[in-house]
Amino acid sequence: MVHHAYELTMVCERRTPWFDDPANARVVADLFPKMDEQRLTESLAWVVMPDHVHWLFQLGERPLSHVAQRFKSRSALLLNRLHQRQGRVWQTGYHDHCLRSDESFRRHAFYVMENPVRAGLASRIGAYPFAWCRWPMDEDSR
């Protein structure tokens, strides 16, 4: 059975820059491999931006809605515990784009990895600490 690949974007409630704090960004970044270990996803690329996340992955056996809900609820629980608070971390919903070809995978992976450069958070692809890609990425990866 072939499982679709998606680019998923999840935005913080009120665009709060939760992930300006490296400890918060690390909490979220550590969840991607855990989702892979649980066979919910097979991550291809991800980036944790100050107020949102982009994640490119191959979907596992569960539906996309389950994966998004699981990621958002687990990260919110961990962040709320870390800060001894209660409340929303994420906006309701998410934006998804289903990918249909290997070329599309690479193009979207480059978009994900280039996000910190476009935002002025890094000088080059690969220099931002809260981004990862399965494939080597540089300016020639377009």
| 7 DSSP β-pair partners | 56, 97
Residues 85, 111 contacting (CB under 8 angstroms): no
Report yes or no: 45 and 128 within 8 Å, Cβ to Cβ.
no
Give the pLDDT band (50/70/90) at residue 140: low
Q: Residues 25-43: pLDDT tens digits?
A: 999 999 999 999 999 999 9
- Considering its fold, how many domains does the chain have in total? 1
- Give alpha helix (H) positions in 30-130: 31-37, 64-82, 102-118
User: What does the pLDDT read at residue 105?
Assistant: 86
Q: Which domain holds residue 99?
A: 5-141
pLDDT per residue as tens digits for the range 82-127 = 999 999 999 999 999 999 877 788 889 999 999 999 999 999 999 9
pLDDT in tens, 54-90: 999 999 989 999 999 999 999 999 999 999 999 999 9
Measured between alpha carbons, how far is 98 from 60 in angstroms, rounded to an integer? 14
Between 61 and 142, residue with greater pLDDT: 61
Single pTM value for the model: 0.92
**CATH code, domain carrying 92:** 3.30.70.1290
